[in-house]
Structure 1
Amino acid sequence: MKGFLRWGYGAMVLVLLSGCNDSEQNKPAPPPTVTAAALKGDLTYQDVLEKGETVHNLAMTTDAERIWVGTHSGLYSSTPGGLWSLLSTELEYQDIVGWFVDPKDPHQIYAAGNQGVMHSSDGGKEWTSIGSGLPSPADIRSFAGIREGDQIRLFAFVSGEGIYQSSDGGDNWSIWQPMDQEVFAMDFNPEENRLYVAAQFSLLYNEDGEWKTEVLPQAQQIYSLSVDKRTGILAVATEQGIFEKIKGEWRLLDARSPEKLIMISSGEGETKWVGVGESALIYKLSDNRWVKWN
């Protein structure tokens, strides 16, 4: 794979200077506008992009009402009013590349990044560092999780080493599979009992301790992947569009997105998928149509 596209986002302001007559100059200036971003805890999406600098991942909450985005500087959540907020100040300066929310108890959240693995038991307000057995420091570049009965199984790709695994909710880790190439995204498919990996050069899956290559027709560059745990469908974002693997067969998604999507994640409720475009805008797929999130 040639490389994973990441981006920054900045605002461009054009100031037009024009002449004005004396009467216009003598008019009192209007009061300053109070923007949502000026209110404590309230941010526009542009603020999130400027503060976070780089978007690494996104996910829809189980109530289908909010989107979370992991950035170079914190984990952010959208709000019903169209604004955004930092999920916790404890993560404000951490590079968050991925997280896992326990489907049995959504208050249990695991997040990972350049400072290792963090755990919250109160829905993301307070966090503690966990991860005995991980390198110190653990530069985690990709993260995934799955609940299997009473067990939470977590996977973390540590750059330069490979994929570590925990079978006890993140308390203890050990190297699972060494990797000699970078991993940009990964997710576990419970229907196939496979961990899928978007690696530097190809789409891989691990079966019985052996890495195998998954061939995508027409696709040359893979940006991101996600598994819909409700259906077992695997989606992969490529330069050709979004491919879905349904019952072992690959097909290109019919719905055309407004722009190329370089990040994909499973949706909730009536939303099938959510994605991030090259412009950093967020879209959701409902009724076979991509629409902007907000």
Structure 2
Amino acid sequence: MRSLLQWGMIMMTWALLAGCGESGRNTSVPPPVTAAATPGDLTYQDVLQKGEVVHNLSMTPDAQRIWVGTHAGLYSSAGGGLWGALSPELEREDVTGWFVDPDNPEHIFAAGQSGVISSKDGGKKWIRLGKGLPQPAEIRSFAGIREGEQLRLFAFVAGEGIYQSSNAGKEWKLWLPLDQEVYAMDYDPVEHRLYVAAQFSLLYHEEGQWKTEAVPHGQQVYSLTVDRANGVLAVATDQGILEKVDGEWQELRAKAPEKLIVIAPGAGDYKWVGIGESAFVYALSGDKWMKWN
């Protein structure tokens, strides 16, 4: 009976996350990206048609743009209901996650089914990284953190676990074997923990072992993110958005127009941004969610 219940939970999760065009196994939530002046010549429907699957999103630090990672590249809102692509070369990449060096917004890392690529000029030219990663490396989730002079990257490789690079992606090692599917992960610089939204539970790694983070009422977690400005952990669940503030879980009072399956930090007047089951993008200002696209 237990195995049947677990299988039912898995199938329910895949079905809900299919609102973005495919299973939600690739919903990795990255930190804010550079506010590059990408020209907009696409509607959001064009983005959905070209990208097919929307994996994740983030808001630029100036709160003017939202970026989405898709099955065919990175796209940015450009105002007036229009969107633009970061680069034609990236449109050949399934971008399941990305990270921008906070010390150098031109330095971008993107990851997906073909491994990790990097650009040092804001997306004009890309090189492939991957020494130590499996070949091919099917990366389902990706995160990064800068700690002083060190730039650490984390990549969940399907069927193996989480690989880590401590030198900006030049070399990788299997850090944490994990035999569950991972929907999202993010690093908390305050608690020095890597949080993982896994197949059966919300996990974090501490003292050399995996530990379970209890979510109120045992809710199914679809994605997670850490607001590095204040250390708040947020999770998107089947019952809504939950926040962990000062060690205590609380339900986000503002109700979204639809169930959100991806959550990321906002900027400026926006507290959070998210992707709904319909693949529409929303931003929370005050106590009201607004449709971005």
TM-score bucket (shorter structure): 0.7 to 0.9
1:77 shift after superposition: 1.1
Q: CA RMSD in A?
A: 1.3
The SS at the match of 1:6 is helix
1:191 is matched with: 190
After superposition, give the CA deviation of every residue in 1:55-104 in whole Å (9 maximum; x if it has no partner). 11111112211111111111111113321111111111211100011111
Q: Is the 1:185–1:197 Cα contact (8 Å) retained in structure 2?
A: yes
Could you tell me which residue of structure 2 aligns to residue 7 of structure 1? 19
1:104 pairs with 2:103: yes
Alignment of 1:226-241 (within 5 A): 226-241=225-240
* Alignment of 1:168 onto 2:167: yes
| Cα shift readout 1:152-182 (whole Å, capped 9, x = no counterpart) | 1000000000000001011110000001111
Q: Which amino acid aligns with 2:18?
A: R
Which structure 2 segments of 5+ residues have no match?
1-8, 22-38
Q: Which residue of 2 aligns with 1:28?
A: none
Q: How does 1:13-92 map to 2 (within 5 A)?
A: 42-92=41-91
The CA deviation at 1:288 is: 2.2
Question: Does the CA contact (< 8 Å) of 1:55 and 1:69 recur in 2?
Answer: yes
Q: Greater RCO between the two (CA within 8 Å, min separation 6)?
A: 2
Per-residue deviation, 1:286: 1.2
Q: Is 1:201 the counterpart of 2:203 in the alignment?
A: no
* Residue identity opposite 1:61 in structure 2: T
Contact in 2 for aligned 1:219/1:239 (Cα 8 Å): no
CA displacement 1:158-209 (0-9 Å, x = unmatched): 0000000001011110000001111110000001100000000000000022
* 1:128-277 alignment runs, 5 A limit: 128-277=127-276
Q: Tell me, what secondary structure is at the counterpart of 1:191?
A: coil
Task: Determine the C-alpha separation between the residues in 2 that align with 1:125 and 1:67.
Answer: 19
Greater gyration radius: 1
Counterpart AA for 1:43:
L
Q: Which has the higher helix share?
A: 2
Partner of 1:20: none
In structure 2, C-alpha distance between the alignment counterparts of 1:220 and 1:102, rounded to whole Å: 33
Amino acid at match of 2:120: S
Contact 2:271 2:284 in 1 (8 A): yes
Q: Which amino acid aligns with 1:100?
A: F
8 Å CA contact 2:51–2:70 kept in 1: the answer is: yes
Give SS of 1:218's match: helix
TM-score (norm 2): 0.87
Deviation at 1:218, TM superposition (A): 2.1
Contact 1:52 1:71 in 2 (8 A): yes
Structure 1: 5+ residue runs without aligned partners?
10-39
